[in-house]
Structure 1
Amino acid sequence: MINAAKERWDILTKPPGSLGKLEEIGIRLAGLQGTVFPKVEQRAVVVMCGDHGVTEEGVSAFPSAVTGLMMQNFANGKAAVNVLARQMNCAVHVVDVGSRVEGDVPGVLSRKVRMGTANLAKGPAMTKEEAQQAIAVGVETVERLHTQGVQVVALGEMGIGNTTPSAALAAVLLGRAEWIAEAVGEEQAGSKMSPDECAPSASAENEAALLQLVGRGTGIADEQVLHKARIIAQAIAVNRPDANDPLDVLAKLGGLEIAGLVGVVLGAWERKMAVIVDGVIAAAAALVAVRMEERVKQALFASHLSQEPAHLALLQEIGLEPLLMLEMRLGEGTGAVLAIPLLEAACRLVSEMATFADLGLDKP
């Protein structure tokens, strides 16, 4: 089907390849959907929500209670992603997979696995079983969307503190955690010391390596960014995740909403639905999904390049290039929703443009 799609693009009334990445998008969608004329008329953004125990380490500018407040904001249609989704004719589906909110939030689908993760700086964020349950929530969510005819799903999330687990996942999955042992000391890293005793005293070189993956998240100051990097180093040293086991890494260092997005990616790929990756949190989830099933790459499209430093490294590892450069770092699925018109444009071009034959001309 990909070859047939390429042939179709080449006979349209334009110089070969002149529509650049739009042609690439159209060809990839054709391969995914199994038709030369793919469609993304029915679209949705899934906003997975969860809280994080690591916020008690002071890694965020906002308290974890904001997660619940933002869930209500989504339900009221007043968040940034709601505004953009309305413009793009995109349905918003908000799922509580692990917030600390007591009871249900009207307008939010409650699929809570547990009331937030544990503090990953002191032990595993969750059990493997809980991570699998959260993944199942994502699969279930996308199954429901598929029955509604959705053809493309944008990845969104909300969880105060979630750039910390995302950077931790990136450090391990990208193979950049080898300097952790040096940062905390070989003796400490392999010992039975308590988490507090295992806190790293990183060298300037190791701090620089940490900061290649650690960003400002909600807008923390310079000294907090370094503190955040050290907390991530501590979390990796304490949990010792197996980089060859993505579920182990996800359970020990991830978040419930991140696991939910892993399930969305896996479920969407199985149903030939396109997946638009948002920022660093969504990209971390996408890489976990790729490590679990490499073929999911076929369904993935990168929307934009976040200001979070780990984002580019994650996209490069997956093999994706961002479509937009807007210096965003909000999350929620905002960047992913903004990229939907580009996929729609590719679909319209391949189906609505005239061919050279239509004009009575031979292909140049």
Structure 2
Amino acid sequence: MSVDGWNTLLVLGGIRSGKSEFAESLVADAPTVRYVATAPEGDPEDTEWATRLAAHRARRPGSWTTEETAADPRRLADVIAGAGPNETLLVDDLGGWVTVLLDPAHQPADDTATIAELADAVRASAARLVLVTPEVGLSLVPTTPLGRAFTDALGATNRAVADACDAVVLVVAGQPAWLKPAGPPPQHPAVPAQAGPGQAGAPAVAPGTVNGTAPEESLPEVLTPAVPAAPAPAPATAGADWAAPTMALPMIATGLVIQPGMELPMPDDYAGPQAVDRLATLDVAGGGLGVLERVVGFAGATQGTPTPAPWGSVRVLLLHGDHAGGASAGAVPGESLRRARQARTGKGALARLAAENGASLQVVEAPASAAIEDGPALTAEQVESALRYGWRLAEQAADAGVQLLVLAACGAGTEAAAAAVLAATAGAEPPAVLGRVLTEHGQYDDAAWMVRCAAVRDALHRTRRSPRDAKDILAELGGGDVAVATGLLLGATARRLPVLLDGPVGVAAGMVSRDLAGQARHWCLLPDHGGQPAVRLAADVLGLTPLVDLRLDLGEGATALATLPLLRSALALAAGLPAHPSLRDGEDGGNDEGFAEPEPAGPGPATVEPEPEPEFAEPEPAGPGPTTTGPDEPVSPGRRAD
């Protein structure tokens, strides 16, 4: 989770201002959250305080874990510093932490040094971190020495942590006011899909600019996952709505029920072939669109029309989730986190290509995956949470008017996890589908490749007697990013939203989704296999024929964005070209569009009427005789006719 591109956030607020609820809403959509409780239990006789603590606990979802730091205030800095890049921490609150810090049991203590250690840990945190704290700077100065010591220490803590955080928000009466940075981040307008230089409605483009802005300013619209609204209670007659065209899934108190055998929508069986057949009638000089006919057929089927339009609103979903153990052998530590942060700031190859295509970019944090050779990558609860998380991401995109999703991923060990999924679902040999390991210096690390193969082999041996259904494969082998991607494909299918796949994570999710809803693969398009053996095998099993063979190696999702202008061009031609003149029913007198019959050069009528053909007349006989010939006279018997 990241708040508008910021990784660490401080939430300030007064008593009963709603600061805790606001902070909890920011991380409610994260797959897993570690709740760090700082307040002491208090006096057992204080029932009001116990009631407050119980209310806080009741609001936390069952998938959250709680960690107490009240016994030692210095431990909070250690917890923050030790959190990994795929973790989400919610610290509530720093007022309780200062209370423990000032407790006589911890004195004498260097409070200033402890506060500085906390600020340093926040500044260097690799995790997604939200801290809650009371704002005491607007209240009266306490009349007791202990009260003044508390406000002084808390004020110093708030200043130090606010300086270390990427963003600070003040909650007043339940309304957030952003203090750092001032105001929301600038939103970059999307580039029109079809308007170009010289076209109607296209702005003038200055030399040396990209899409009308300077190169350093051409950034995509970077989004963050929105907080989903709580599902409304289903009415008593909701069961009859499950068969509606939207194919909404049943809901229970914990959210979506994602289960095998779901009936989700299929693309239009008639519109796709009709869109391809229509291409043969277009007025083109050559033989047509070639392999890009499949793009037109795919768009026609998913849009439900023989004349599909080019995709306008496109969203790139970049899944970031690392895999521990041998699956990530040869990966540079922290490299995937750097790539994710780079994308959040609109930099890097993926962000640049997204800006060129006018696509928005959303970085999604997936739960970290444990070493598959030692045990399951995820728990069953984490799999359910990740599936629902991906589903909600697709729903949010559909509600925002997105017409096409591009599924991308960055994370250490994703190739090995995808190879393990393919081995479990398609019977592949891990060495045959696991690509070689390329180092940051452009060299192949065969030793790391062998470690990855061994990790996948050991994981398959460990799970040889485990069931091979979809959720078991995600828990044992796939991990967080594949689970979120699977939920995303299912949610996109339910909302009739096409998806461009690009890379091992996407095709591995496609393989897993077959057991949950076989319709999902029909909403996927694979622009390129990228030379990766895992993608080639999965594409063959899923029936996805790659369109091009560019062999780009810029990271998952980049090839799909690089080919997107070509796909849009094919759809624009298919939708905009007229029919061939020979197929028009007498339009414009059989002439091409805009052609007029020329006026005659000399005098005479403007038009020449055709002369009527003469009626046929019996010719006059050349010799004497009657002008008409009657019927022959009968010949009597015995008389020869002359």
Find the aligned partners of 1:273 and 1:242 in 2 and give their Cα distance.
33
Please state how far the C-alpha of 1:227 moved relative to its aligned partner. 2.1
Q: Could you tell me which residue of structure 2 aligns to residue 324 of structure 1?
A: 548
From 358, 363, 383, the counterpart of 1:89? 358
Q: CA deviation at 1:121?
A: 0.8
CA distance in 2, matches of 1:297, 1:16: 32
- The structure whose Rg is larger is 2
Q: Deviations over 1:233-287 (max 9, x none)?
A: 0011113375641221111001211111111211112212111110122211122
1-structure distance, mates of 2:286, 2:519: 28
Is the partner of 1:157 in helix, strand or coil?
Answer: strand
Matched, 1:26 2:250: no
Is residue 45 of structure 1 aligned with residue 269 of structure 2?
no
Distance 1:248 1:90 in 2: 34
Measure the CA separation in 1 of the matches of 2:401 and 2:430.
43
Equivalent residue runs for 1:5-24 within 5 Å: 5-14=275-284, 18-24=288-294
Any stretches of 5+ residues in structure 2 without a counterpart? 1-270, 587-642
Aligned counterparts of 1:15 and 1:291: Cα–Cα separation in 2: 45
Change (3 A) 1:241 1:26: farther
Give the AA of the match of 2:423.
A
Residue 564 of structure 2 is aligned to residue 340 of structure 1: yes
Counterparts of 1:162 and 1:227 in 2: how far apart (Å)? 14
Q: Tell whether the 8 Å contact from 2:272 to 2:296 is kept in structure 1 after alignment.
A: no
Out of 119, 122, 125, which is 2:377 matched to? 125
Q: Give the drift of 1:119.
A: 1.1
Give the secondary-structure state (helix, strand or coil) at the position aligned to 1:44.
strand
The match for 1:289 is 513
When structure 1 is superposed on structure 2, of 65-74 and 239-248 the one drifting more is 239-248
Q: Closer, same or farther in 2 for the Cα pair 1:357/1:136, shift >3 Å?
A: farther
CA distance in 2, matches of 1:330, 1:48: 15
The 3-state SS of whatever aligns with 2:398 is helix
Describe the shift of the 1:331–1:247 C-alpha distance in structure 2 as closer, same or farther (beyond 3 A).
Answer: farther
Q: Is contact 1:62–1:218 with CA below 8 Å preserved after alignment?
A: no
**Is the counterpart of residue 67 in structure 1 residue 291 in structure 2?**
no
Query: 1:319 Cα deviation (Å)?
Result: 0.7
Per the alignment, in what secondary structure is the counterpart of residue 433 of structure 2?
Answer: coil
SS at match of 1:146: helix
Of 454, 464, 476, 1:240 maps to 464
CA displacement 1:111-130 (0-9 Å, x = unmatched): xxxxx111111011012321
Q: What is the Cα deviation at residue 69 of structure 1?
A: 2.1
Q: Contact 1:303/1:322 (CA < 8 Å) preserved in 2? A: yes
Pairs within 5 Å for 1:203-352: 209-219=429-439, 221-240=445-464, 242=466, 244-352=468-576
Q: 1:292 to 1:4 in 2, by over 3 A?
A: same
TM-score, with length taken from structure 2: 0.46
Q: Structure 1 pair 36/217, CA: closer, same or farther in 2 (3 Å)?
A: farther
Q: Which structure carries more relative contact order (alpha carbon 8 Å, separation 6+)?
A: 1
Q: Equivalent of 2:347, from 75, 78, 83?
A: 78
Query: How far apart, in 1, do the equivalents of 2:437 and 2:547 lie?
Result: 22
Q: How far, CA to CA, are the matches of 1:17 and 1:32 in structure 2? A: 25
Aligned length: 311
Q: Label 1:233 to 1:329 Cα distance change in 2 as closer, same or farther (>3 A).
A: farther
The Cα of 1:45 is off from its aligned counterpart by 0.8
- 1:353 shift after superposition: 0.6
Change (3 A) 1:218 1:132: farther
Contact 2:281 2:583 in 1 (8 A): no
Letter in 2 for 1:127: T
Unaligned runs of 5+ in 1: 99-115, 177-208
Deviation of 1:360 after TM superposition, in Å, equals: 4.1
Instruction: Summarize the Cα distance change of 1:117–1:241 in structure 2 as closer, same or farther, 3 Å threshold.
Output: farther
Letter of the structure 1 residue corresponding to residue 364 of structure 2: V
Q: Specify whether residues 58 and 2 from structure 1 end up closer, same or farther in structure 2 by C-alpha distance, changes over 3 A only.
A: closer
Matched, 1:151 2:403: yes
Query: In the alignment, does 2:369 pair up with 1:138?
Result: no
Tell me which residue corresponds to 1:171.
423
Cα offset for 1:354? 1.0
Distance in 2 separating the partners of 1:350 and 1:243: 47
Matched to 2:433, the amino acid is L
Structure 1 pair 329–280 and aligned structure 2 pair: CA distance change class (3 A): farther
- The structure-2 alpha-carbon separation of the partners of 1:304 and 1:129, relative to structure 1 and needing over 3 Å to count, comes to same
Measured in 2, the distance between the counterparts of 1:156 and 1:265 equals 12
Q: Does the 8 A contact of 2:539 with 2:545 survive in 1?
A: yes
The answer as to whether partners of 1:305 and 1:328 remain within 8 angstroms in 2 is no
Q: Cα distance 1:306–1:217, how it changes in 2: closer, same or farther (>3 A)?
A: farther
Counterpart residue number, 1:182: none
Q: Which runs of 4+ in 1 moved over 6 A?
A: none
Shift of 1:358: 8.4
Pair 225,137 (structure 1): closer, same or farther in 2 beyond 3 Å: same
Does the 8 A contact of 1:74 with 1:94 survive in 2?
A: yes
Report the 3-state secondary structure (helix = DSSP H, G, I; strand = E; otherwise coil) of the residue aligned with 1:294: coil
Question: How has the CA–CA distance of structure 1 residues 218 and 138 changed in structure 2, closer, same or farther, with 3 Å as cutoff?
Answer: farther
Deviation at 1:342, TM superposition (A): 3.1
Deviations 1:208-235 (A, max 9, x none): x532111124535112212211111001
Q: Is 1:36 equivalent to 2:288 in the alignment?
A: no
CA contact (8 A) 1:13 1:355 kept: yes
Tell me if the contact between 2:330 and 2:445 (Cα under 8 Å) persists in the aligned partners: no
Q: What SS does the aligned partner of 1:339 have?
A: helix
Q: Distance in 2 between matches of 1:278 and 1:151?
A: 17
CA distance, structure 2, for counterparts of residue 53 and residue 224 of structure 1: 14
Contact 2:302 2:496 in 1 (8 A): yes
Q: TM-score, normalised by structure 1?
A: 0.79
Cα offsets for 1:33-68 (capped at 9, x unmatched): 11223231111110011121225x6623312x2232
Per the alignment, in what secondary structure is the counterpart of residue 519 of structure 2?
helix
